[in-house]
């Protein structure tokens, strides 16, 4: 077997149908498009939302709501999760826990706008956390366990 002898199977590749090339071709005159109408014209394409000339449903209903383009989105982590990752050995309790250390440990996969610590679950290990935001109950639980939490 040689590379220059390789071929496609018969019928695997078919040539493009050339339309509008006379009556003998079988695809002459109207080129298989029929007579008149929107679909026979060049550049005809109905949108996926087209509803036969009536007012489309997307335009019938009012638009509402607002998305703030300047809103900050934080990665959240719970105290119970931190305790679980310390127990499994993914996080070193002696080193400060930052958003970068969580990324290298593959606990979070992107940084977004910062790190927020929440108080779900309980923490028994004294840890030093560097975060952008935290809840008051999370701060109380960390201090009670003998750890600290501070801003970046």
pLDDT (tens digit, 9 = 90+) per residue, 54-77?
A: 998 888 999 889 999 999 999 999
Segment 3-10 shows an average pLDDT of: 94
Helix/strand/coil for 145: coil
Whether 103 is covered by a domain: the verdict is yes
Is residue 140 scored above 90 in pLDDT? yes
pLDDT digits (tens, 9 = 90+) for 16-35: 999 999 999 989 999 999 99
Q: CATH code at 92?
A: 3.100.10.10
Residue 79 maps to a domain: yes
Domain annotation covers residue 32? no
Does residue 42 lie within any of the structural domains?
no
CA–CA separation, 107 vs 114, rounded Å?
Answer: 14
Tell me the per-residue pLDDT of 80-101, one tens digit each, with 9 for 90 and over: 999 999 999 999 999 999 999 9
Q: Give 38's pLDDT tier (boundaries 50, 70, 90).
A: confident
pLDDT band at 129 (very low <50, low <70, confident <90, very high): very high
Establish if 68 belongs to a structural domain.
no
In a domain, 12, yes or no: no
Torsion of CA 60, 66, 69, 75, to 10 degrees: -120
Query: Does the residue 147 lie in any domain?
Result: yes
In the chain, how many domains are there?
1
DSSP assignment of 58-105 equals HHHSPP-----TT----EEEEHHHHHHHHHHTSS-SSS-B-HHHHHHT
CA-to-CA dists, residue 31 to 35, 37, 88, angstroms: 10, 14, 69
Let me know if residue 113 belongs to a domain. yes
- Residue 95, domain extent: 75-151
């Amino acid at each position: 077997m040689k590379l220059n002898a390789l071929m496609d199977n018969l019928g695997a590749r078919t040539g493009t149908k050339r339309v509008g090339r006379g009556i003998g071709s079988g695809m002459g005159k109207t080129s298989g498009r029929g007579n008149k109408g929107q679909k026979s014209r060049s550049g005809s394409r109905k949108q996926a939302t087209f509803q036969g000339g009536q007012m489309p449903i997307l335009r019938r209903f009012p638009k509402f709501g607002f998305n703030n383009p300047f809103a900050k989105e934080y990665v959240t982590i719970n105290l119970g999760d931190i305790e679980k990752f310390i127990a499994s050995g993914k996080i070193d309790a002696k080193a400060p826990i930052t958003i970068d250390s969580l990324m290298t440990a593959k606990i979070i996969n992107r940084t977004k706008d910062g790190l927020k610590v929440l108080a779900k679950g309980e923490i028994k290990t004294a840890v030093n956390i560097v975060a952008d935001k935290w809840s008051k109950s999370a701060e109380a639980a960390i201090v009670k366990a003998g750890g600290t939490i501070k801003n970046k």
